[in-house]
Amino acid sequence: MEKTLNLSDVLDEIQRNKNVILSFGVKNIGVFGSFVKNEQKISSDLDILIEFKKGMKSFDNYMGLLFFLEDLFQVKIDLVIKEAIKPRLKSHILESVTYAKGL
């Protein structure tokens, strides 16, 4: 049986790969959704919230980071840019996000 990732695993892995993640222009990265609530399953996608450094938001950086994270975690990633959160979801997401330290 496969081991299900948990929030601590995800944050540790982000920390271990900090330099690669920063190379995509990331200012902040955090986890929200089922992983924060400890309701994830093997089939769950991983909800990640990012904020890019000024002038670093681009299609290439977004897609490069998305592919890197999907390869790293071997799960589907829902990669959300902080400034693009739908207004009706914004407060819910921002209240529940757990940010990786040092990014």
14 has a pLDDT exceeding 60 = yes
- Write out the two tokens for 87: 């207004």
pLDDT given at position 38: 86
Angle at 83 between CA 42 and CA 65, to 5 degrees: 50
pLDDT at 1 exceeding the cut of 50: no
Judged against a pLDDT cut of 60, whether residue 84 lies above it is answered with yes
pLDDT cut 70: percent of the chain above it: 97
Q: Give the tens place of pLDDT for each residue, 54-63.
A: 999 999 999 9
- What would the mean pLDDT of 68-87 be, rounded to a whole number? 96
Domains, in order of start, for the chain: 7-98 (3.30.460.10)
Q: What angle do CA 13, 25, 10 make, to 5 degrees?
A: 15
Q: What's the pTM?
A: 0.91
